[in-house]
């Protein structure tokens, strides 16, 4: 085994007595030498308890042909692994994700490859990638309208890892002195075939996207575009800047041409409509002297549904359910279930996201209480999610999180399938 550190560095395996505390600390640099193969990731257990809303259209879609339930416990587990190989300028990454859940409704398990790519990194300025890669564009925390080559983000859990797309991509970066400090160019090619990237768009063919990043006048700026056979063209920009050292502001704007949307029409029939829409986001992050972080974002979702459109969908489900009860014909319910956009994370047009995180409250390390509020401005309904995280055990992360909807009856969050959720998430990192 080749020693990677010089003899002097090995001698610097510090075994240092702290006279005041009488404690001894070792710092063995060889234990942190760079290795060609690295395996890391996490194993997660996620027991949870739900109270259902039996009158929700989404409950009708989920439970119309089985016993309706008022409450349920669920045991879920997941594994995310990263296997990295690095040698010289070559790098390869394999990131599988396995998950499973068991509840009185049954058991389910799944496996996905979040990322799987090979890369060449000939210099600190240039990287070339081929394979399945998760890109993360945009400055928004809960939403990112300019994330043109990504799967949708869950605003309730924006930090979760997500599956990427198969692509060819590269990063070229150049630094400068002066007002423009950094310029990065990221071209992306996304092929869509019958067996590859099927969720990117319905039509098969080549798709192209790109991002130009600038650090200009201490402001992060991204200019982005995407076009091709599978989706209509789209163009956007984002920016982020500290207006005070503890106060960051950010924004995103995206314009979509020929965007496809499946809706329930006024006549009660489903239809596909195409239109040009704009989406944008305005946000800020503020850190107080007491380590309280506040994240506030407003999102206008151009392709979102209006209140009358959501009401039309609820009526469509109701009539479908009545037809099922009367005749056993569930075709309309299946048709409604196929309209996935209505049941998406935030399917309507205008939302506000607020998250307040208190690090080390009262000077007690590793305990982090937080509360997240997601509010639909169209109907005033909201989801409140208080949580408490503990990271005091090395390589363990514990989090207890509840979620409660508020607002008037008929509001989006009051009409969700779950009206109370309590989840304990225990993660072990390796």
- Write out the binding residues for other proteins, residues 214-233 only, by CB under 8 A: 215, 218, 220
Is the Cβ of residue 248 or residue 415 nearer to other proteins in the bound state?
A: 248
Shortest Cβ 268–other proteins spacing (Å): 42
Site residues for other proteins, window 85-124 (CB under 8 A)?
Answer: 86, 91, 121, 123-124
Stretch that binds other proteins, among 51-59, 103-111, 234-242, 305-313 (CB under 8 A): 234-242
Q: How many residues bind other proteins (CB under 8 A)?
A: 75
Site residues for other proteins, window 270-299 (CB under 8 A)?
Answer: 285, 287, 289, 291, 293
Shortest Cβ 292–other proteins spacing (Å): 11
Q: Is 246 in the site for other proteins (CB under 8 A)?
A: yes
Of the candidate residues 59, 240, 346, 381, the single one contacting other proteins (CB under 8 A)? 240
Site residues for other proteins, window 68-87 (CB under 8 A)?
Answer: 82, 86
Q: Is 394 in the site for other proteins (CB under 8 A)?
A: yes
Q: Is 21 in the site for other proteins (CB under 8 A)?
A: yes
Shortest Cβ 311–other proteins spacing (Å): 36
Stretch that binds other proteins, among 166-174, 191-199, 332-340, 399-407 (CB under 8 A): 166-174
Shortest Cβ 279–other proteins spacing (Å): 18
Answer yes or no: are the C-beta atoms of 248 and 219 closer than 8 Å. Answer: no
Is the Cβ of residue 133 or residue 421 nearer to other proteins in the bound state?
A: 133
Stretch that binds other proteins, among 27-35, 189-197, 305-313, 345-353 (CB under 8 A): 27-35
Q: Is 396 in the site for other proteins (CB under 8 A)?
A: yes
Of the candidate residues 391, 398, 399, 422, the single one contacting other proteins (CB under 8 A)? 391
Q: Is 29 in the site for other proteins (CB under 8 A)?
A: yes
Of the candidate residues 70, 181, 202, 274, the single one contacting other proteins (CB under 8 A)? 181
Site residues for other proteins, window 335-374 (CB under 8 A)?
Answer: 359-360, 363, 365-366
């Amino acid at each position: 085994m080749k020693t990677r550190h010089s003899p002097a560095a090995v001698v610097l395996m510090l075994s240092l007595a702290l006279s005041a505390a009488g404690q001894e600390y070792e710092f063995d640099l060889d234990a942190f030498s760079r290795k060609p193969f690295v395996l890391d990731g996490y194993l997660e257990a996620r027991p949870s308890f739900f109270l259902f809303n039996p009158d929700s259209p989404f409950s009708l879609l989920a439970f119309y042909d089985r016993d309706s339930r008022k409450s349920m416990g669920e045991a879920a587990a997941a594994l995310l692994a990263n296997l990295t190989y690095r040698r010289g300028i070559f790098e390869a990454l394999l990131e599988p994700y396995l998950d499973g859940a068991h509840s009185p409704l049954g058991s389910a398990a799944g496996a996905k490859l979040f990322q799987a790519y090979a890369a060449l990194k000939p210099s600190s300025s240039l990287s070339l990638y081929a394979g399945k890669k998760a890109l993360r564009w945009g400055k928004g925390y809960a939403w990112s309208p300019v994330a043109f080559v990504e799967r949708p983000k869950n605003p309730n859990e924006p930090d979760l890892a997500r599956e990427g797309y198969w692509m060819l991509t590269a990063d070229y970066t150049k630094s400068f002195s002066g007002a423009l400090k950094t310029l990065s160019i990221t071209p992306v090619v996304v092929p869509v075939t019958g067996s590859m990237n099927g969720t990117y768009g319905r039509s098969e063919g080549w798709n192209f996207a790109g991002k130009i990043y600038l650090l200009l006048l201490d402001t992060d700026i991204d200019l982005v575009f995407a076009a091709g056979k599978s989706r209509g063209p789209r163009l956007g920009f984002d920016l982020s800047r500290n207006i005070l050292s503890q106060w960051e502001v950010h924004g995103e704007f995206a314009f979509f041409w020929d965007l496809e949307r499946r809706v329930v029409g006024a006549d009660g029939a489903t239809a596909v409509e195409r239109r040009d829409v704009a989406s944008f986001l305005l946000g800020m992050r503020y850190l107080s002297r007491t380590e309280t972080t506040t994240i506030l974002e407003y999102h206008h979702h151009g392709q979102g549904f209006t209140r009358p459109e959501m009401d039309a969908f609820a009526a469509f489900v109701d009539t479908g359910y009545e037809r099922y009860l009367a005749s056993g014909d569930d075709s309309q319910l299946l048709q409604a279930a196929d309209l996935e956009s209505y049941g998406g994370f935030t399917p309507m047009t205008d939302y506000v996201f607020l998250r307040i995180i208190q690090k080390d409250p009262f000077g007690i390390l590793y305990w982090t209480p937080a509360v997240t509020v997601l509010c639909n401005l169209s109907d005033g309904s909201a989801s409140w999610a208080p949580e408490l995280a503990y990271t005091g055990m090395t390589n363990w992360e514990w989090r207890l999180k509840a979620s409660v909807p508020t607002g008037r009856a008929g509001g989006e969050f009051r009409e969700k399938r779950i009206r109370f959720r309590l989840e304990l998430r225990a993660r072990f990192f390796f």
